[in-house]
């Protein structure tokens, strides 16, 4: 939770390591007792579903549509809706705006959003690629344009959001044209606790030959796979870098598998571009794990990306918001952008309401 002034200054914030639970209302009430009353509330909603294609004010209809798509991103939407309900109850007289991670990708070209399945599945069930991390990508794209001194609509870049969830996105002339996540945030890169892409035949095999239920598969793929599943100890790259240095072979395999997954994802996104103007890292891992950045970039010479990256001080990065970290060898520019999802939510909320004035 964060409160922003009209000039974008962060006035106050509260963070938690767990998703919103039954205590969400009390936590919000405590924050509101210490700050000026907000003029509006913006909510990050990961999945918009098929019927909401833009950031929008939350009313009864929108709230019902969000409930209908909660199963498409169960780790995110259900906890977020708890916060929506708590905030609407505590602040009934101000507008509440849903800001979607999917909106950045709403104009994906047909070949990029379409799965190779029968038309009935696509038409009746709505099976398609949505893409996620859009709020993070929107923020990082604007910062990248500023850093390179070029307009957004003249850039072709690959953006990599690496955190608890991980994805990559190809941006051509300001528009998302491909991304690694799909119908749900489970597809794509190896993540902290999520598996990323897996042979669909493996899931059928696990069900048929080993009797795993849908609930078992869901829980394991979302919560016990990824870096945690590979290492057996942690889904945090900082822990794994330390463990690898101490000779932990499982940690070394987890990091090697993760960085290979990232390189595959970045390279596949570059295939949707004519050129690569920059590779951009954001997200908690992207901004705060120089070993991971180095291991990804040093093995991407096929794309003109080089290793030997500079390592900015995290305090400087957080203060300035971005740093260019590629060396002097003339390779593709590599940038690190501090994660700005909350700032982007504030900006999108003001845009929806048309309130870019002096109010909070």
Catalytic positions are: 101
Name the DSSP class of 239: H
Secondary structure (3-state) at 121:
helix
Residue 324's DSSP bridge partners are 335
The answer for 60, left when phi > 0, alpha when psi is -120 to 50, beta otherwise, is: alpha
CA distance 51 to 62: 9
Of 35, 155, 52, which is closest to residue 98 (Cα–Cα)?
52
The answer for 276, left when phi > 0, alpha when psi is -120 to 50, beta otherwise, is: beta
List all residues 6 or more positions away from 51 whose beta carbon is below 8 Å from its beta carbon.
65
Residue 160's DSSP bridge partners are 168, 281
CA distances from 44 to 256, 289, 321, 349 (A): 32, 25, 21, 10
Residue 42's DSSP bridge partners are 97
Tell me what percent of the chain is helix, strand and coil, each rounded to the nearest 5. 45, 15, 40
CA distance 121 to 125: 5
Of 76, 77, 5, which is closest to residue 35 (Cα–Cα)?
5
Name the DSSP class of 291: H
Of 111, 76, 303, which is closest to residue 191 (Cα–Cα)?
76
Cα torsion for 173, 176, 180, 182, to the nearest 10°?
Answer: -160
CA distances from 318 to 173, 221, 233, 323 (A): 27, 32, 29, 10
CB 100 within 8 A of CB 48: yes
The answer for 92, left when phi > 0, alpha when psi is -120 to 50, beta otherwise, is: alpha
């Amino acid at each position: 939770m964060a409160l922003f002034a009209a000039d974008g200054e962060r006035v106050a914030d509260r963070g938690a390591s767990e998703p919103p639970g039954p205590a969400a209302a009390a936590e919000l009430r405590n924050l509101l007792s210490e700050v000026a009353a907000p003029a509006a509330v913006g909510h990050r909603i990961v999945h918009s579903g098929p019927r909401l294609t833009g950031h929008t004010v939350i009313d009864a209809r929108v709230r019902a549509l969000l409930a209908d798509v909660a199963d498409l991103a169960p780790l995110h939407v259900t906890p977020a809706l708890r916060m929506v309900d708590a905030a609407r109850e505590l602040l009934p007289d101000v507008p509440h705006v849903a800001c979607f991670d999917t909106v950045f990708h709403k104009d994906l070209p047909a070949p990029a959003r379409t799965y190779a399945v029968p038309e009935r599945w696509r038409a009746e069930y709505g099976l398609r690629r949505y893409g996620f991390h859009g709020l993070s990508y929107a923020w990082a794209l604007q910062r990248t344009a500023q850093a390179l001194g070029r307009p957004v609509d003249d850039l072709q870049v690959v953006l990599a959001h690496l955190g608890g969830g991980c994805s990559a996105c190809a941006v051509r002339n300001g528009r998302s044209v491909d991304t690694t996540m799909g119908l749900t945030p489970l597809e794509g890169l190896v993540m902290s606790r999520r598996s990323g892409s897996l042979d669909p035949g493996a899931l059928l095999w696990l069900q048929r030959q080993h009797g795993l239920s849908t609930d078992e598969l869901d829980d394991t793929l979302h919560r016990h796979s990824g870096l945690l599943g590979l290492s057996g100890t942690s889904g945090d790259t900082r822990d794994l870098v330390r463990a690898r240095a101490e000779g932990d072979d499982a940690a070394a395999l987890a990091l090697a598998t993760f960085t290979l997954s990232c390189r595959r994802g970045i390279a596949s996104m570059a295939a949707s571009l004519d050129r690569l103007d920059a590779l951009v890292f954001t997200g908690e891992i992207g901004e705060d794990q120089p070993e991971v950045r180095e291991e990804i970039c040093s093995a991407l010479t096929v794309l003109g990306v080089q290793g030997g990256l500079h390592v900015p001080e995290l305090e400087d990065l957080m203060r300035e918001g971005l740093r260019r970290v590629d060396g002097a060898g003339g390779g593709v520019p590599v940038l690190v952008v501090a994660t700005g999802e909350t700032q982007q939510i504030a900006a999108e909320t003001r845009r929806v309401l048309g309130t870019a004035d002096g109010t909070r």
